[in-house]
Amino acid sequence: MGTLTDARSRLTGTWTLLSFDLFPPGEPPIHAAGTGTMTYDEFSNLKVDLRLTPASVKLAEKIGIPVTPEGSITTVGHAVIDLERRALSYVLEGQSPMRQARHPLDTNLPRYWELKGDELTLRTKDEKGTVLSVSVWRKN
């Protein structure tokens, strides 16, 4: 992805979650943490629908991520692409883009991407570079 236009073009579409692993600090890893879909449009709007496993729901509640009683998280916002770092940040509707992260998996932390064919891998890292989550998506 050499240009912002190219990056947006390649990201545009609906994606299905293939795998989702969480590596919370001081906790055992959670593999196969959920299922979901992600939709990115030509205006950089991003909608993510996740359905978490029971173990993931417990972690989400523990670190302050709002989850429905059914274990769902739906977020709607705008993605900001950083080509140099190969990262995207997610600004939720109604929230300031400059707000502080509230937990290690907060949506405003950058997700570092790798795109190979129709598979997109997103990694969340802490300030030391330790990977906190890995999600792999396939474009529909």
Q: What is the mean pLDDT of residues 39-57?
A: 93
Domains of the chain from N-terminus onward: 4-139 (2.40.128.280)
Query: With 60 as the cut, is the pLDDT of residue 71 above it?
Result: yes
Gyration radius of the chain's alpha carbons? 14
3-state secondary structure 90-135: EEECCCCCCCCCCCCCCCCCCEEEEEECCEEEEEEECCCCCEEEEE
* pTM score over 0.85: yes
What pLDDT sits at residue 64? 78
- Tell me the percentage of the chain whose pLDDT exceeds 90: 54
Query: With 70 as the cut, is the pLDDT of residue 96 above it?
Result: no
For the chain, what is the mean pLDDT? 88
Query: With 80 as the cut, is the pLDDT of residue 3 above it?
Result: yes
Q: Is 69 exposed, middle or buried (0-12, 13-18, 19+ CB in 10 A)?
A: exposed
| Host H or E run for residue 74 | strand 72-82
Higher-confidence residue: 57 or 14? 14
pLDDT tens digits for range 24-39:
878 888 898 899 999 9
Q: Provide the b/e sequence for 95-120 (b: ≥16 CB within 10 Å).
A: eeeeeeeeebbbbbbbbbbebeeeeb
Q: Is 122 exposed, middle or buried (0-12, 13-18, 19+ CB in 10 A)?
A: buried
